[in-house]
Amino acid sequence: GQQLNQSPQSMFIQEGEDVSMNCTSSSIFNTWLWYKQDPGEGPVLLIALYKAGELTSNGRLTAQFGITRKDSFLNISASIPSDVGIYFCAGPLGDKVIFGPGTSLSVIP
């Protein structure tokens, strides 16, 4: 079935560094969503993208909707310890939202 792929699977970075992660699909999506999940909690929506080529920021986070509509990128600038968590990309497919496997981010103070 349809699936989303994310890379890298995990990242270990120093506090203050910039982070980049991406999400790809074999199918076209009309919307890309990026969520963050802290341990033991539900996913929290960070950014929603609706248009191919769109670049949207939310504080230190920037996400882009790929021109091909088959990928999206999330960048985090000047990482801080509270950025630790799992970042999921997601997209609507029929009457559901499907999720990628996630990128686990660890920030070393």
Q: Which stretch binds other proteins (CB under 8 A): 8-16, 18-26, 66-74, 89-97?
A: 89-97
The sheet with strand 61-65 has its strands ordered as 4-7, 19-25, 71-76, 61-65, 55-58
- Binding of other proteins by 85 (CB under 8 A): no
What is the C-alpha to C-alpha distance for residues 63 and 81, in angstroms, rounded to an integer?
20
CA distances from 41 to 14, 85, 94 (A): 24, 10, 26
| In the complex, minimum distance from the CB of residue 2 to other proteins, in angstroms, rounded to a whole number | 11
| In the complex, minimum distance from the CB of residue 11 to other proteins, in angstroms, rounded to a whole number | 17
- Binding of other proteins by 44 (CB under 8 A): yes
Tell me, residue by residue from 7 to 26, as one string, x for binding to other proteins by CB under 8 A and - for no binding: --------------------
Q: At a CB cut-off of 8 Å and minimum separation 6, what does 108 contact?
A: 12, 13, 14, 15
Half-sphere exposure of 11 (CA within 13 A, CB side): 24
| In the complex, minimum distance from the CB of residue 43 to other proteins, in angstroms, rounded to a whole number | 5
- The contact set with other proteins (CB under 8 A) reads 30-31, 33, 35, 37, 40-45, 48, 50, 88, 90, 92, 94-102
